[in-house]
A and B are shown apart, each in its own frame.
Chain A
Amino acid sequence: MTHATLDPGAPDLPGAPSRTASRTGTAAGTRARRAARRRAALEWTAVHSLGIAAAAFFVLPFVFVLLTAVMSDQQALTRSLWPHPFVWSNFRTVWDTPGFLTWWRNTLVYSVVGTVLTVVSSLPVAYALAKFRFRGRNTVMVLVISTMMLPPQVVIIPMYLFWAKQLHLDGTLWPLLVPLAFGDAFSIFLLRQFLLTVPREYTEAARVDGCGELRTLLRVVVPMIRPAIAAVALFQFFACWNDYFGPQIYTSSNPAAWTLSYGLESFKGAHHTNWNLTMAATVLVMAPVIMVFFFAQKAFIEGVTLTGVKG
């Protein structure tokens, strides 16, 4: 993400003032240059003040949540902003709340297993859509994009009836995990976007060397698109971690199968007005996502860019 170079209004671009300066005398030139420098300083200040104001809007909610998370019960009910004293044990209290650890484990299973299943099943589909020529390829692509854009509520009634009334698997994680073993539209779309950037020569060369398609994919293509796989895995991990609707539909009957997203709310219920504990729980749910992001920032941002920009 080299971005600093493009800067439409940047004063260091060859602009009118310096041009005039070279044509007129030195005194006027110095004055013009000084004016340009002053304008640059002014712009720097304006841009960065605006940046700080915007950053405050984006960061302060996190700060307030963190501060409230370490307040005492009584203080959280008042309008004070600074914890006095700092009650770090709130995190411990949340952690020890019955259910919390189970929900944490369920969320981890859903996110990790779901991510692996998604990548393994979406990769061959994306590869076929990017590298094979066949009739109906565009139709498949249109259908993939359509399902990607579809609200999950559209098909939830029959899906629920199928899992709950026919297979009796509601109250477990199975209804959430199994569909991910059959390709996820968004992941297929994103992987295909990446795969289109892999030069055809590589796959062609592998084929000439007698590599089967599957070997080509695993040995030649996968190592080349490792960042793409990381991006897709991250998106899926976050999607599972953040999913609320799926767990609400399929696991609500059995608290032992709840995930954090779904359990978090009832946690709030268990401690009706305890905003401090609620915010401590919120921090504990947000923390892993943010930590994962800091480890894999680049892959993630590349993924976001590619969904919107490259066609």
Chain B
Amino acid sequence: MTAVHPALRARRRRAALRNLAFLSPWIIGFSVFFCYPLLSTVYFSFMHYDGFNAPVWSGGRNWSYVFTEYPLFWPALRNTLWLVVVMVTLRVVFGLGVGLLVTRIRTGAGFFRTAFYLPYLAPPVAATMAFVFLLNPATGPVNHVLGGIGIPGAGWFTDPHWSKPALTVLAVWGIGDLMVIFMAALLDVPREQYEAAELDGAGAVQRFRHITLPNIRPIVMFAVVTGVIQTMQYYTQPLVAGKVASGIIGNSGQQFEPGYPDRSTLTLPQLVYNLGFQRFDYGSACVVALVLFVLAMAFTALLMRRRNGFLSAED
């Protein structure tokens, strides 16, 4: 025993060094591009800092400013909540619906799957600009077609009551990823269960409720929680939609009051940009960043509690 010890220790040390070497890109990246900036964010949230003059301690001033005076914070939080409830629900429902449909399509299955999947790949900026055009109340083809069948079109991205539904249509258009995930889950449901249920005389609705749904519940949960996390980060689409629909001259430096029309497309991540990079109030921007951090972490924790599978190492 005593004779083996030094050799064993040497081997252990070699293994530890090897682990460290393989992990080093992540360790460096995590420290430099995550830990350090996260701690700095906390630090700056208590500082008054405009990027030019040295940061000055300001206590809870930024915090109280964001929560009680900054006029965009509560609308952004309300919008995010609206989007989380409506957008995530519809995306999951439609994603599952299209997933179910695709598993039943016999003829031209390849065409249908590709057609349902492609919008997911469209670059967000391009897709958003396309939708602002498509849903343009004056010249867009959607209202034209709706008018043709006798439905009065909406103002979409130019109407505060319709801008979030318009964003939701855009989000539902891009459910290709969910379709694929649901499709894979549906194909994993043991076929015998359906056969047994059919012998017992269960109808399609009963089969869905008592066999399909329980089997794919973990995936539905996964889709809901990741959907909520994604919606928390919702940035490019609402920003570009607001800018393009309001007719702001692109990136000319023209000041843009975010959330057009009437703050209806404002989301939390946009506030970080507005406070930090338009108003040079880095301290308050850090407060919003930390609010985002706490919300995102809460849902990530939920996700990992639900799916410890993430950590399973089958070795």
Contacts and interface: CB of A to CB of B under 8 A. Distances in A.
A141 B126 contact: no
A8 B144 contact: no
Interface in B128-162: 129-131, 133-134, 136, 139-141, 144-145
Contacts of B251: 252, 255, 258, 262-263, 265-266, 269
B292 A153 contact: yes
A64 B101 contact: no
B297 interface: yes
Interface string A263-290: 1111111101001001100100110011
A62 to B, nearest CB: 7
A266 B30 CA distance: 34
A54 B26 contact: no
B222 interface: yes
A114 B249 CA distance: 30
A223 to B, nearest CB: 19
Interface stretch (A10-18, A22-30, A86-94, A225-233): A10-18
A69 to B, nearest CB: 10
Interface in B81-132: 98, 101-109, 111-119, 121-127, 129-131
Contacts of A258: 251
A245 B15 CA distance: 40
Contacts of A7: 103-104
A117 to B, nearest CB: 10
Given A47-B105, A151-B292, A165-B51, A125 B26 contact: yes
Interface in B44-89: 44, 51
Interface string B257-282: 00000000000110011001100001
Interface string A35-54: 00000000010011011001
Given A14-B195, A125-B25, A242 B134 contact: no
A78 B26 contact: no
Interface string A142-183: 111111011111111111111001000000000000010111
A55 B125 contact: no
Nearest to B286: A157
Contacts of B288: 153
A301 B194 CA distance: 26
Interface residues of B, number: 128
B55 to A, nearest CB: 10
B11 interface: no
A311 B309 contact: yes
A289 B129 contact: no
A289 B23 contact: no
Contacts of B282: 157, 161
B273 A153 contact: yes
B312 A134 contact: no
A241 B243 CA distance: 21
A154 to B, nearest CB: 5
Most central of B123, B185, B249 by chain A CB within 10 Å: B123
A61 B44 CA distance: 44
B268 to A, nearest CB: 8
B41 A155 contact: yes
B37 A65 contact: no
A48 B121 contact: no
Contacts of B115: 55, 58-59
Contact of B186 (A6, A252, A272, A275): A6
Interface string B226-258: 100100110110001001100111111000000
A7 B314 CA distance: 31
Contacts of B268: 153
A121 interface: yes
Given A308-B184, A308-B223, A309-B184, A155 B144 contact: no
A77 interface: yes
Contacts of B303: 145, 149
Contacts of A160: 276-277
A125 B18 CA distance: 11
Interface of B: 15-16, 18-19, 21-23, 25-26, 28-30, 32-34, 36-38, 40-41, 44, 51, 98, 101-109, 111-119, 121-127, 129-131, 133-134, 136, 139-141, 144-145, 173, 177, 180-181, 183-189, 191, 194-195, 198-199, 201, 204, 207-208, 211-212, 219, 222-223, 226, 229, 232-233, 235-236, 240, 243-244, 247-252, 268-269, 272-273, 276-277, 282, 285-286, 288-290, 292-293, 296-297, 299-300, 303-304, 307-315
Lowest 9 A-B CB distances belong to which pairs?
A: A311-B309, A269-B250, A182-B29, A266-B250, A308-B181, A158-B40, A155-B37, A128-B22, A269-B249
18 contacts: A14-B195, A51-B102, A58-B173, A128-B19, A128-B23, A132-B18, A137-B313, A140-B23, A142-B304, A149-B297, A182-B32, A196-B314, A245-B269, A249-B273, A264-B125, A293-B118, A293-B121, A301-B180
Given A7-B104, A154-B41, A286-B122, 11 more contacts: A8-B208, A58-B116, A132-B15, A151-B232, A153-B268, A157-B282, A262-B125, A265-B125, A270-B250, A304-B181, A305-B184
